[in-house]
């Protein structure tokens, strides 16, 4: 009797777990797409592609994952993920570690990182950053790469400034006066600061150096075994980018469904965030990256000591799957 009760319990538990487990939509390929940041109106193209059925039309059931970028590259390289939104430097750093990740579509043409400083700091060029205390999310990722590139553009090194790791609290760091400047995403924090009555000067990385920015990345195994999946994912994602750029008001309305509290946020500010993001996308370039942008990125990483030797850049990206 006791054995029967235990068996019954196990069977019931298995049934409940199976019943409650998430199921893929019949006939669609499930794709988890990490983006490396919290829900934000800047991801409007993805929300548009989901909401308007662009992914479904390509046979894909896409869900957005807001986990961190560095982890995603490792998962991509191990083929535990098939796609992720990743910045160019992470692709090169991953490949240097033997991770076979491949960049297949440029979402942002302009590197979206910059350094913002209150106007009273009188920081007009990178060289003016010397001796300043600069808030930064951390000494990793696109923010760090962009900051180092700006310092180099001004003939400075990391030893010429004080980096203060503050997470994503740049707005508070500036408004409180704790930081003299902060590493920001140019389409985000500067707009928030202006809205709060704190005008800032922004030094954009893209004004000094062309670098590979955020884009859709996959891995060599997915390309080799399922190139049609890559083509469909790129096609639907790029259609979302085009549609969001062409109809930003509609894209903003769609984003409210995916970004908590966006409906209660300052609409003027958030729409400016989206408009500035669209400028950075460079839709007219059709998702392509320039070889020079890859060369520049590799040079920055070599100078920082993050790469020990040059890589074969031709294997790091491809345009073969663009519409």
Kindly state whether residues 297 and 248 are assigned to the same domain. yes
Kindly state whether residues 118 and 199 are assigned to the same domain. yes
The C-alpha atoms of residue 65 and residue 146 are separated, in whole angstroms, by 24
Residue 191 lies in a domain: yes
Q: Do 303 and 158 meet the contact criterion of CB atoms below 8 Å apart?
A: no
The C-alpha atoms of residue 211 and residue 206 are separated, in whole angstroms, by 7
Tell me the β-bridge partners of 113. 185
Kindly state whether residues 239 and 277 are assigned to the same domain. yes
Choosing from 207, 224, 249, the residue where a domain stops is: 207
The C-alpha atoms of residue 322 and residue 26 are separated, in whole angstroms, by 27
Q: What is the DSSP string of 33-77?
A: EE-SS-S-GGGHHHHHHHHTTHHHHTTEEEEEE---HHHHHHHHH
Task: Give the closest residue to 286 by CA, choosing from 53, 87, 104.
Answer: 104
Identify the CATH number of the domain in which residue 81 sits: 3.40.190.10
Q: Which residues of 188-205 are buried (b: 16+ CB within 10 A; e: fewer)?
A: bbbbbbeeeeeebbbbbb
Q: In which domain, by residue range, is 155 found?
A: 113-207
Task: Give the closest residue to 191 by CA, choosing from 283, 281, 275, 249.
Answer: 275
pLDDT by 10s per residue, the chain, length 323 = 333 344 443 344 444 434 433 345 668 999 999 998 889 999 999 999 999 999 999 999 999 999 765 588 999 999 999 999 999 999 999 999 999 999 999 999 999 999 999 999 999 999 999 999 999 999 988 999 999 999 999 999 999 999 999 999 999 999 999 999 999 999 999 999 999 999 999 999 999 999 999 999 999 999 999 999 999 999 999 999 999 999 999 999 999 999 999 999 999 999 999 999 999 999 999 999 999 999 999 999 999 999 999 999 999 999 999 99
φ, ψ for residue 94 (rounded to 5)? Answer: -65, -45
End-to-end CA distance of the chain: 64
Q: Per 3-state DSSP, what percentage of the chain is helix, strand, and coil (rounded to 5)?
A: 50, 15, 35
Residue 1 lies in a domain: no
Kindly state whether residues 217 and 168 are assigned to the same domain. no
- Which helix (H) or strand (E) segment holds residue 301: the answer is helix 291-304
Total count of domains within the chain: 2
Q: Strand, helix or coil at 261?
A: coil
Kindly state whether residues 131 and 60 are assigned to the same domain. no
Residue 50 lies in a domain: yes
The C-alpha atoms of residue 149 and residue 167 are separated, in whole angstroms, by 20
Residue 121 lies in a domain: yes
Kindly state whether residues 91 and 234 are assigned to the same domain. yes
Residue 255 lies in a domain: yes
Residue 99 lies in a domain: yes
- Please state the pTM of the whole predicted model: 0.87
Q: What is the pLDDT of residue 7?
A: 41
Q: What is the pLDDT of residue 141?
A: 86
């Amino acid at each position: 009797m006791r054995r029967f009760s235990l068996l019954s319990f196990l069977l019931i538990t298995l049934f409940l777990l199976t019943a409650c487990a998430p199921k893929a939509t019949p006939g669609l390929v499930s794709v988890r797409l990490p983006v490396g940041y919290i829900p934000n109106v800047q991801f409007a193209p993805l929300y548009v592609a989901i909401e308007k059925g662009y992914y479904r039309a390509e046979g894909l059931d896409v869900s957005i994952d807001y986990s961190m970028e560095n982890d995603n590259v490792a998962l991509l390289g191990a083929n535990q993920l098939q796609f992720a939104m990743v910045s160019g430097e992470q692709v090169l750093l991953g490949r240097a570690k033997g991770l076979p990740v491949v960049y297949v579509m440029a979402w942002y043409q302009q590197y979206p990182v910059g350094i913002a400083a209150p106007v009273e700091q009188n920081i007009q060029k990178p060289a003016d950053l010397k001796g300043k205390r600069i808030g930064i999310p951390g000494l990793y990722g696109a923010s760090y790469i962009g900051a180092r590139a700006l310092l180099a553009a001004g003939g400075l090194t990391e030893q010429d400034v004080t980096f203060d790791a503050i997470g994503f609290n740049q707005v508070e760091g500036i408004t409180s006066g704790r930081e003299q400047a902060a590493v920001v995403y140019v389409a985000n924090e500067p707009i928030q600061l202006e809205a709060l009555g704190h005008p800032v000067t922004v030094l954009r990385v893209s004004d000094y150096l062309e670098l590979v920015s955020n884009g859709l990345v996959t891995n060599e195994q997915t390309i080799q075994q399922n190139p049609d999946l890559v083509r469909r994912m790129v096609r639907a994602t790029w259609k979302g980018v085009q549609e969001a750029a062409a109809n930003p008001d509609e894209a903003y309305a769609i984003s409210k469904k995916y970004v908590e509290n966006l409906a209660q946020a300052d609409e003027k500010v958030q729409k400016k965030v989206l408009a500035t993001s669209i400028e950075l996308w460079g839709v007219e370039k059709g998702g392509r990256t320039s070889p020079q942008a890859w060369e520049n990125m590799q040079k920055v990483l070599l100078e920082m000591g993050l790469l020990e030797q040059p890589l074969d850049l031709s294997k790091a990206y491809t345009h073969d799957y663009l519409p």
